Amino acid sequence: MNTQVSTPSSPEEIKDLVRRKYAEIAQQDKDTNASSCCGAGGCSTEVYNIMTDDYTGTKGYAADADLGLGCGLPVEFAGIKPGDTVLDLGSGAGNDCFVARAETGEDGRVIGVDFTPEMIAKAKANATVLGFQNVEFRQGDIEALPVSSNMVDVVVSNCVLNLVPDKRKALSEVLRVLKPDGHFSISDVVLQGELPAKIQSSAELYAGCVSGALQESEYLGIINELGFMDVVIQKRKPIIVPDDILIQHMSAEEIEAYKASGVGIFSITVSAAKKAGAENLSKPADHGEAAPLIALTELKADDAGSCGCGPGNTCS
């Protein structure tokens, strides 16, 4: 899958590209996904995992549902309580849903939303094998969630929103579906500084979780502007893109200049809450008015990580 694809130029083209990529990923075995960038193909021979965190030993982990497609462990920081209703955005084969189900228990409810039919089918099959009656999967668009307003206690997502064309709209949907005092825990890929154009324009790297990422300041700004409270970066790790990936898109001289530029790609896990009485805050902030800024606290930063292909890596 190293064939170059023209850069998607519209939201619908982006969605179509991602949908096709993840339909293919859903039909690959885990070993194939683990040797590729987010299952997209042509990954590194220098490192095994580019973005992933290891789920092994995590309560509720189901290996068959782990396609190797995530950049964090959002449930680790989600504060899920027994009986909670949990929503997973871009649920893939169900990995984070099943981990969340272990926290919410039999009295809770877990809903996974994904817009790739092949992923939904795979997730439903995994839930059937596991015998879970309180985990369901719905096909839908994160920018228009098939979920009622004010019904979810906790939203989680793992390396997904970076692939959504309208991130403000997606996060406004998170605000809409959360109950007052509900909260989210989202792992995602962000940038610090501008990526070289040859990486930014690569459709292959886009589906591999990098080129669709926002600047970290813009990402956090959207969360603040929408009115979320208690915004916290729970975890941050740098993503080091190996040379054997970069050389496919850049010359050796360009790679050295890129490394010296200070530009960075990071996986972050962010949490934030919907304040009580915010039922009417389900629409994006009016750009004609100054949105309130909310204090940001950073709790934890990891040492250098690797940019990743293997188990746990979810862009879908």
pLDDT tens track for 37-57: 444 444 554 444 556 777 888
User: What is the amino acid identity at position 263?
Assistant: V
- Say if residue 296's pLDDT is above 90: no
- Say if residue 290's pLDDT is above 80: no
- pLDDT for 79: 97
What are the DSSP calls for the chain, one per residue?
-----PPP-SHHHHHHHHHHHHHHHHTS-HHHHHTSGGGSS---SS-S-SS----TT-TT--GGG--S--SS-GGGGS---TT-EEEEES-TTSHHHHHHHHHH-TTSEEEEEES-HHHHHHHHHHHHHHT-SSEEEEE-BTTB-SS-TT-EEEEEEES-GGG-S-HHHHHHHHHHHEEEEEEEEEEEEEEESPPPHHHHT-HHHHHTTSTTPEEHHHHHHHHHHTT-EEEEEEEEEE----HHHHTTTS-HHHHHHHHHTT-EEEEEEEEEEPPTT-TT--SPPPTTSPPPP--EEE---PPP-----STT----
Over residues 164-189, the pLDDT tens digits come to 889 999 999 999 999 999 999 999 98
Over residues 4-19, the pLDDT tens digits come to 444 556 777 777 777 7
Q: Band of the pLDDT at 30, cuts 50, 70, 90?
A: low
Q: Band of the pLDDT at 314, cuts 50, 70, 90?
A: very low
Question: 112: burial class by Cβ within 10 Å (0-12, 13-18, 19+)?
Answer: buried
Q: Band of the pLDDT at 293, cuts 50, 70, 90?
A: very low
Instruction: Quote the mean pLDDT of the chain.
Output: 79
- Say if residue 71's pLDDT is above 80: yes
Over residues 139-151, the pLDDT tens digits come to 999 999 999 999 9
Q: List the chain domain ranges.
A: 11-277
What average pLDDT score do residues 235-261 get? 84
Report whether 195 contacts 211 (CB < 8 A). yes
The hierarchical CATH code for the domain 11-277 is 3.40.50.150
What average pLDDT score do residues 30-35 get? 55
- Say if residue 267's pLDDT is above 60: yes
Tokens representing 7 are 């850069």
What average pLDDT score do residues 76-95 get? 96
Q: Band of the pLDDT at 200, cuts 50, 70, 90?
A: low
76-80, 182-186, 221-225, 293-297, range with the lowest pLDDT: 293-297
Strand partners, 88: 112, 156
Comparing 268 with 44, the larger pLDDT belongs to: 268
Relative to beta strand 109-114, strand 264-273 is unpaired
- Say if residue 95's pLDDT is above 90: yes
What average pLDDT score do residues 256-272 get? 89
- Say if residue 268's pLDDT is above 90: yes
- pLDDT for 213: 84
- pLDDT for 173: 98
Max avg pLDDT among 47-61, 205-219, 220-234, 255-269: 220-234
Max avg pLDDT among 22-26, 58-62, 93-97: 93-97
What average pLDDT score do residues 93-102 get? 97
Report whether 190 contacts 268 (CB < 8 A). yes
